[in-house]
């Protein structure tokens, strides 16, 4: 029975890796188009890949296409998306900083990573699945240590193995928690970039209500409430207002 | 065409000559391709005969007679031969472009009738278009004796396109003395004078609405509109003294020309990046040294633009040189002529560029864009690709002695970083290992396997009937049972039962624990097994307890059941139990 289960486990672990090579041809075309300076064409190809697949690299490349086409708000949007998947990625951060210089609104951008690279590394860098994988390995180690401890004669080694199994169990649970946090982080849709050249922030979700202020393209806002075609946003300054959902792109 | 017409006329005439002895009758024009408004001279010549009844005036076919006919006779006497000829001359012009045919002229000589061959005149669109005629009419109405006009070669143009303005004076006075004049104000134009030499009256009179005028071209200008919209060439004012004589200085006359409007269109959108305002028809020639050049030695790079365009308004084209090149402002040499058809010629930019370091530099093609008003589109001039292979310079090698002077790396521009290439580690959107079936399986399978292993292990132990192990593990339990009975006996004050139970507990426990028969439990064995514990104290106490129990059992001495013996038994068993757990 164990001989059958071990291959099964291996198969299950390798499952997410098999679906990788599908859009390789499209990707090659896109990279080539970009290399030749056909940014519009490259963008269309990347976008078609992005309908089904995603990765920090892909989002970064899309951001580059938008940047080359002069659409800096969308470039910012895609760099932010890429950073979600890969916090602290150097290239993305560099290009994002460059594009942000074009933003009109002077907002104090919250420092992106106050805890620095240590926290990034703890979050698993660009690999979203890292902690999920670690939790599985820890679970396997726990079972292995506990099993070995169960089977050997009562000695000090037995206690050592049980102790190791206990540590592995804690590690597995902690890893699973980190994985859950990471997925939540990637999946959360709590921020957006203004895409319209300028948009009025209104006091109520209704056309014609009091205009509070005007934001320009490229500015990042927090998303709060949502009502029909209206979205409540919070600015870095803390001010809150409503704008049409069509004028923003959710990160 | 002219020649053919002449030839045909000549052949026809010479055919006649054979019969009629050298009588010719032919029509000639001085040119048969003119621009509208230009004069053409028609001559009909009859030689060696007298036009008795007179030659007929040909049908001019729509051409306007400016002057004529004028008749002249010529009589010559050469080498004993007399010849005579009669010539009638007309000056014709056409107001509209097209093909005009001058019909035949006939003359009767004796009984025969001679005919000239028809001549076709091709009239192209002239520099002064139809509007100038209107302007002339209006000016004539203002003062039929003396007026001047301004005419433009075009009244619609693009910004930067060349126009030719002609200032013409029409006069019926015999004598004119210019006093002073106000040149028109040119707002929004770049003007370039056409050198006409001295102002002279045209040889021919011009007939305008039946009135003959002497005509002089006062001035020609090439005008280049600098902005779009409706631009106006303001009227020119001239002051003349009319008919001065010895006795009087003449009568002052002040005339004012018409104003001319021109609609200037903005250049169409889609300007190339390197467009700098050149309009016209241009060619580009680039001369550069080919092959090997040396570092720190000057390279002469020359760009020559030639053609008909606003050459004087050209900006020096920017060379996109690598930063390792030093370049200086170009030397400009012009060979530009300004004439009645506009500005044409060539302008040469001579650049001196100096490569500072060795290497192969590919400068690519130099490009220059201009607007072609004829086709209404932008055109690009492209030179052959330039590349320089820069070898080591003599001077640099000599002075630096093997070490290069250090220069800061120059930042030429900023750009976003390049895209990621290679494996982008694509993953299906919105799918993560965490929470997936694979993850749940990976997390639950090892504990499940562990559980299975545990169950399997326990079952195997039971199957092997591990009596020893069970007895050993049960030793404590059995002993407790006996001790519980002992406690009951203690409460009942039943001495016999108490000692019996304690004895059984102590002996049974030891036998079970060390897998012995009850008979084997004796002082030596106890000493053997427990001797190491607590420096033999445990063994001694154990033996003492067993002995006490046996003594009480077999020789019932009246003695109170000992609470102390019970406590000791419990303590010693739990001490051994903790030492030999498992």
Asked whether the beta carbons of residue A16 and residue B438 sit closer than 8 angstroms, the reply is yes
Assess whether pLDDT exceeds 70 at residue B88. Answer: yes
How far apart CA B31 and CA B34 sit, in angstroms, is 7
Q: Which of B438, B450, B457 sits opposite A12 (nearest CB)?
A: B438
* Any domain includes B287: yes
The confidence score (pLDDT) of residue A172 equals 92
The confidence score (pLDDT) of residue B20 equals 41
Question: What mean pLDDT do residues B528-537 have?
Answer: 76
* Any domain includes B414: no
Q: Say which residue the tokens 């060439």 belong to.
A: B233
Same domain? B30 vs B117? yes
List B residues 499-518 in contact with A (Cβ-Cβ < 8 A). none
CATH number of the domain to which B180 belongs: 2.60.40
- Is the C-alpha dihedral spanning A62, A63, A64, A67 positive or negative? positive
**Beta B119-124 vs B33-35: how paired, if at all?**
parallel
How close, in Å, is residue A203 to chain B by CA atoms?
Answer: 34
CATH number of the domain to which B65 belongs: 2.60.40.10
Residue spans of chain A under pLDDT 70: 1-22, 108-126
How far apart CA B116 and CA B112 sit, in angstroms, is 13
Assess whether pLDDT exceeds 80 at residue B202. Answer: no
Q: Say which residue the tokens 């959360």 belong to.
A: A188
Assess whether pLDDT exceeds 90 at residue B241. Answer: no
Ranges B239-253, B335-349, B553-567: which has the least confidence: B553-567
Asked whether the beta carbons of residue A61 and residue B436 sit closer than 8 angstroms, the reply is no
Same domain? B201 vs B234? yes
Same domain? B340 vs B259? no
SS3 B473: helix
Angle between helices B563-579 and B537-554 (to 10 degrees): 140
Q: Which of B353, B377, B398 is the last residue of a domain?
A: B398
Asked whether the beta carbons of residue A139 and residue B447 sit closer than 8 angstroms, the reply is yes
* Any domain includes B430: no
Is the distance from CB of A125 to CB of A88 less than 8 angstroms?
yes
Confidence of residue B404 (pLDDT cuts 50, 70, 90): low
The confidence score (pLDDT) of residue A8 equals 60
Q: Where in the sequence is the domain holding B561, given as residue range(s)?
A: 467-579
SS3 A197: coil
Assess whether pLDDT exceeds 80 at residue B196. Answer: no
Q: Which residues of A touch B453 (CB under 8 A)?
A: 147, 150-151
The confidence score (pLDDT) of residue A9 equals 57
Confidence of residue B286 (pLDDT cuts 50, 70, 90): confident
Instruction: DSSP for B168-237, please give it.
Output: EEEE--S-EEEEEEEPPPBSSEEEEEE---S--B-SS-EEETTEEEEEEEEEEEEEEE-SSEEEEEPPPE
The confidence score (pLDDT) of residue B19 equals 43
Q: Say which residue the tokens 């005969």 belong to.
A: B49
Asked whether the beta carbons of residue A142 and residue B446 sit closer than 8 angstroms, the reply is yes
* Any domain includes B453: no
The confidence score (pLDDT) of residue B5 equals 61
Same domain? B142 vs B254? yes
Angle between helices A56-68 and A72-85 (to 10 degrees): 170
> Which contiguous run of DSSP H or E holds residue B498?
helix B495-513
Q: Quick one: how many helices (H) and strands (E) in chain B?
A: 9, 31
Beta bridge partners of B231: B262
Ranges A60-64, B225-229, B336-340: which has the least confidence: B336-340
Q: Which of B424, B438, B446 sits opposite A55 (nearest CB)?
A: B424
The confidence score (pLDDT) of residue A230 equals 92
Of all residues in chain B, the percent with pLDDT exceeding 70 is 88
Please provide the size of chain A in residues. 251
Interface test with B, best of A6, A15, A28, A171 (most B CBs within 10 A): A15
Is the distance from CB of A67 to CB of A101 less than 8 angstroms?
no
Same domain? B257 vs B319? no
ipTM exceeding 0.90, yes/no: no
Q: What is the pLDDT of residues B24-47, one digit of tens each?
A: 888 888 877 777 767 788 888 888
Same domain? B253 vs B341? no
Q: Which residues of B touch A132 (CB under 8 A)?
A: 432-435, 439
End-to-end Cα separation, chain B, in angstroms: 132
How far apart CA B270 and CA B267 sit, in angstroms, is 9
Comparing C-alpha atoms, which of A114, A113, A110 is closest to residue A220? A110
How close, in Å, is residue A61 to chain B by CA atoms?
Answer: 5
Predicted TM-score (pTM) of the model is 0.46
Assess whether pLDDT exceeds 90 at residue B176. Answer: no
The confidence score (pLDDT) of residue A18 equals 45
- Is the C-alpha dihedral spanning A10, A11, A13, A19 positive or negative? positive
What are the helix (H) ranges across B313-422?
Answer: 394-400
How far apart CA B575 and CA B473 sit, in angstroms, is 15
Is the distance from CB of B452 to CB of B460 less than 8 angstroms?
no
Same domain? B59 vs B120? yes
* Any domain includes B460: no
Rounded to the nearest 10 degrees, how much is the dihedral formed by the CA atoms of B118, B122, B128, B133?
A: 40
How far apart CA A39 and CA A32 sit, in angstroms, is 10
Confidence of residue B174 (pLDDT cuts 50, 70, 90): confident
Question: What mean pLDDT do residues B451-467 have?
Answer: 80
* Any domain includes B141: yes
B457 and A CB contact within 8 Å? yes
Beta bridge partners of B176: B242
Instruction: Give me A237's structure tokens.
Output: 């300054």
The confidence score (pLDDT) of residue A138 equals 92
* Any domain includes B274: no
Interface test with A, best of B414, B419, B445, B582 (most A CBs within 10 A): B419
B464 and A CB contact within 8 Å? no
Q: Which of B236, B265, B294 is the last residue of a domain?
A: B265
CA distances from B341 to A65, B186, B221, B258 (A): 50, 19, 10, 22
Instruction: Give me B300's structure tokens.
Output: 């002469």
How close, in Å, is residue A251 to chain B by CA atoms?
Answer: 14
Q: Which of B105, B124, B143 is the last residue of a domain?
A: B124
How far apart CA B510 and CA B424 sit, in angstroms, is 71
Full strand arrangement of the beta sheet holding B39-47: B24-29, B39-47, B81-93, B64-78
Q: Which residue in chain B is spatially nearest to A135 when comparing CA positions?
A: B443
Confidence of residue B255 (pLDDT cuts 50, 70, 90): confident
The confidence score (pLDDT) of residue B544 equals 81
Taking one residue from A and the other from B, the number of pairs with CB-CB distance under 8 angstroms is 142
Of all residues in chain B, the percent with pLDDT exceeding 90 is 1
Same domain? B28 vs B58? yes
Instruction: Give me A166's structure tokens.
Output: 């206990």
Assess whether pLDDT exceeds 50 at residue B549. Answer: yes
* Any domain includes B459: no
Query: What's the CA angle centered on B560, arms B556 and B561, to 5 degrees?
Result: 90
Same domain? B345 vs B383? yes
Is the distance from CB of B566 to CB of B490 less than 8 angstroms?
yes
The confidence score (pLDDT) of residue A119 equals 66
Number of domains in chain B: 4
CATH number of the domain to which B566 belongs: 1.20.120
Q: Which residues of A touch B419 (CB under 8 A)?
A: 31, 34, 60-61, 64
B411 and A CB contact within 8 Å? no
Beta bridge partners of B165: B152, B221
Asked whether the beta carbons of residue A129 and residue B445 sit closer than 8 angstroms, the reply is no
Same domain? B113 vs B194? no
Asked whether the beta carbons of residue A129 and residue B434 sit closer than 8 angstroms, the reply is yes
The confidence score (pLDDT) of residue A116 equals 55
The confidence score (pLDDT) of residue A19 equals 47
Same domain? B258 vs B315? no
Comparing C-alpha atoms, which of A245, A248, A190 is closest to residue A223? A190
Asked whether the beta carbons of residue A54 and residue B439 sit closer than 8 angstroms, the reply is no
Q: What is the pLDDT of residues A158-175, one digit of tens each?
A: 889 999 999 999 999 999
Interface test with A, best of B431, B433, B440, B461 (most A CBs within 10 A): B433
How close, in Å, is residue B538 to chain A by CA atoms?
Answer: 24
List B residues 413-442 in contact with A (Cβ-Cβ < 8 A). 414, 416-421, 424-439, 441-442
How close, in Å, is residue B350 to chain A by CA atoms?
Answer: 33
Same domain? B151 vs B243? yes
Q: Which residues of A touch B450 (CB under 8 A)?
A: 142-143, 146-147, 150
SS3 B117: coil
């Amino acid at each position: 029975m164990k001989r059958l289960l071990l291959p099964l486990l291996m198969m299950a672990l390798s499952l997410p890796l098999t679906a990788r090579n599908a859009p390789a041809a499209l990707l090659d075309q896109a990279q080539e188009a970009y290399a030749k300076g056909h940014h519009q064409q490259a963008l269309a190809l990347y976008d078609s890949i992005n309908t089904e697949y995603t990765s920090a690299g892909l989002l970064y490349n899309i951001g580059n296409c938008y940047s080359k086409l002069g659409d800096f708000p969308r470039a910012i949007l895609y760099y932010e998306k890429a950073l979600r998947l890969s916090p602290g990625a150097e290239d993305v951060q560099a290009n994002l900083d460059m594009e942000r210089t074009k933003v009109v609104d002077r907002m104090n951008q919250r420092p992106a990573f106050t805890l620095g690279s240590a926290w990034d590394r703890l979050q698993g860098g660009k690999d979203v699945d890292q902690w999920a994988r670690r939790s599985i390995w820890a679970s396997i180690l726990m079972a292995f240590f506990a099993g070995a401890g169960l089977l050997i004669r009562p000695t000090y080694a037995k206690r050592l193995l049980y102790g190791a199994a206990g540590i592995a169990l804690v590690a597995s649970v902690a890893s699973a928690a980190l994985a859950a946090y990471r997925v939540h982080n990637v999946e959360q849709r709590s921020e957006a970039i203004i895409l319209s050249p300028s948009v009025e922030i209104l006091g109520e979700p209704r056309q014609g209500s009091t205009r509070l202020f005007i934001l320009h393209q490229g500015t990042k806002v927090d998303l709060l409430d949502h009502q029909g075609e209206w979205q409540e946003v919070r600015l870095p300054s803390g001010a809150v207002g409503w704008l049409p959902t069509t004028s923003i792109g959710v990160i | 065409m002219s020649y053919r017409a002449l030839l045909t006329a000549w052949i026809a005439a010479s055919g006649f000559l054979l019969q009629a002895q050298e009588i010719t009758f032919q029509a000639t024009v001085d040119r048969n391709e003119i621009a509208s408004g230009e004069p053409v001279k028609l001559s009909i010549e009859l030689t060696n005969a007298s036009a008795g009844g007179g030659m007929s005036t040909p049908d001019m076919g729509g051409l306007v007679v400016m002057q004529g006919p004028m008749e002249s006779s010529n009589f010559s006497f050469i080498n004993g031969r007399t010849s005579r000829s009669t010539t009638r001359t007309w000056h014709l012009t056409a107001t509209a472009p097209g093909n005009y045919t001058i019909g035949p002229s006939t003359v009767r000589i004796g009984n025969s009738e001679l005919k000239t061959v028809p001549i076709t005149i091709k009239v192209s669109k002239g520099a002064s278009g139809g509007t100038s005629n209107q302007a002339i009419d209006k000016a004539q109405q203002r003062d039929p004796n003396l007026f001047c006009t301004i005419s433009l070669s075009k009244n619609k143009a693009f910004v930067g396109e060349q126009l030719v303005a002609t200032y013409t004076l029409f006069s019926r006075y015999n004598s004119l003395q210019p006093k002073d004049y106000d040149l028109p104000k040119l707002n929004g134009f770049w003007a370039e004078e056409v050198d006409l030499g001295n102002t002279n009256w045209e040889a021919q009179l011009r007939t305008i609405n039946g009135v003959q005028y002497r005509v002089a071209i006062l001035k020609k200008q090439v005008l280049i509109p600098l902005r779009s919209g409706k631009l106006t060439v303001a009227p020119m004012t001239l002051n003349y003294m009319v008919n001065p004589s010895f006795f009087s200085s003449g009568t002052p006359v002040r005339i004012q020309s018409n104003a001319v409007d021109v609609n200037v269109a903005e250049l169409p959108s889609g300007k190339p990046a390197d467009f700098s305002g050149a309009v016209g028809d241009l060619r580009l020639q680039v001369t550069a040294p080919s092959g090997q050049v040396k570092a720190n030695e000057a390279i002469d790079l020359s760009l020559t633009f030639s053609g008909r365009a606003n050459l004087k308004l050209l900006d020096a084209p920017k060379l996109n040189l690598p930063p390792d090149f030093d370049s200086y402002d170009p030397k400009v040499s012009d060979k530009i002529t300004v004439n009645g058809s506009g500005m044409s010629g060539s302008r040469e930019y001579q650049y001196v560029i100096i490569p500072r370091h060795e290497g192969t530099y590919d400068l690519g093609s130099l490009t220059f864009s201009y607007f072609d008003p004829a086709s209404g589109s932008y055109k690009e001039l492209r030179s052959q690709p330039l590349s320089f292979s820069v070898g080591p310079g003599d001077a640099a090698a000599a002075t630096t002695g093997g070490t290069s002077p250090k220069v800061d790396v120059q930042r030429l521009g900023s750009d976003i970083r390049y895209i990621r290439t290679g494996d982008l580690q694509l993953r299906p959107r919105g799918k993560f290992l965490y929470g997936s079936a694979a993850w749940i399986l990976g997390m639950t399978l090892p504990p499940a396997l562990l559980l299975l292993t545990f169950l399997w292990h326990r079952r195997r132990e039971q199957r092997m009937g591990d009596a020893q192990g069970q007895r050993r593990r049960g030793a404590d339990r059995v002993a407790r049972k006996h001790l519980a009975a002992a406690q009951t006996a203690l409460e009942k004050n039943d001495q016999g039962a108490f000692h019996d139970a304690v004895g059984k507990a102590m002996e049974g426990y030891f036998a079970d624990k060390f897998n012995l028969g009850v008979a084997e439990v004796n002082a030596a064995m106890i000493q053997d097994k427990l001797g190491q514990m607590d420096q033999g104290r445990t063994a001694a106490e154990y033996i003492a307890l067993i002995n006490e129990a046996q003594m009480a059992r077999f020789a019932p001495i009246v003695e109170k059941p000992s609470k102390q013996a019970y406590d000791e038994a419990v303590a010693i068993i739990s001490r051994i139990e903790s030492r030999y757990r498992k």
